[in-house]
Amino acid sequence: KDSGLSAHQVELIRLLHEGYADRDIAQRLGIKESTVRYQRFTLKEKEKQCKIYLAVMENLRQKPDSNFLAIHSTARQVDERYIATKEDEEKVKQDFFLSLDPLKLKSIPRKEKYKIIVLRILCETLTQKNYTEKQLNDILQPVYEDFASLRRCLIEYGFFSRDFSGQTYTKLI
């Protein structure tokens, strides 16, 4: 009861832990092999949800620290990628920008946490609430040659939204 797992799930986990193949587990439990694969996927999704829940609960127990950067309210799927410090921000400014005034990016970081910091810095320079695609492209192109990737990231990470026609971009933060 405390684990939130059914007896069937506990047995499935035990068999997975013992190293049985999906086919063998299906035979033992009297189910299809595809069902075993689906249940394995479901357990992995529960694991992800639990990790996020635990991180949120741990964060609630800690006192706010002014050294950490605030997470924007429209962030999608908040997790450890959003835990960044002012030190991280300084590192990103040094490592990924050629210039801060005017804003000129060397490269888009691979590390998600750093990418989010780059997008945050970029958003701070954007003063309007709404942009046409052409306006946004005209702003992003001098910042980074692959401006389409930057625009996509702004939407993907919840800094901007795009209307149904795809012509208007709205700054969310």
Q: In angstroms, rounded to a whole number, what is the distance separating the alpha carbons of residues 5 and 136?
A: 48
Burial 33-53 (b: 16+ CB within 10 A, else e): eeebeebeeeeeeeeeeeeee
More confident residue, 132 or 4: 132
Whether cis (ω within 30° of 0) applies to the bond prior to 64 is: no
Q: Is the pLDDT of residue 2 over 90?
A: no
Q: Which residues lie across from 100 on neighbouring strands?
A: 103
Q: In angstroms, rounded to a whole number, what is the distance separating the alpha carbons of residues 118 and 106?
A: 11
Q: Is the pLDDT of residue 62 over 70?
A: no
**pLDDT band at 156; cut points 50, 70, 90:** confident
Residue with tokens 């960044």: 84
Query: What was the pLDDT predicted at 168?
Result: 83
Q: Is the pLDDT of residue 61 over 90?
A: no
More confident residue, 44 or 67: 44
Question: What does the pLDDT average to over 142-155?
Answer: 91
Inter-residue contact 136 to 100 (CB < 8 Å) = no
**pLDDT band at 169; cut points 50, 70, 90:** confident
- Tokens encoding 153: 């990231």
Query: What was the pLDDT predicted at 31?
Result: 92
Q: Is the pLDDT of residue 20 over 90?
A: yes
Work out the angle at residue 152's Cα, subtended by the Cα atoms of residues 163 and 41, and round it to the nearest 5 degrees.
Answer: 100
Alpha-carbon dihedral angle through residues 18, 37, 43, 16, given to the nearest 10 degrees: 0
What region, left, alpha or beta, does residue 29 occupy, with left being phi > 0 and alpha being psi -120 to 50 degrees? alpha
Question: What does the pLDDT average to over 29-41?
Answer: 92
Q: Is the pLDDT of residue 15 over 70?
A: yes
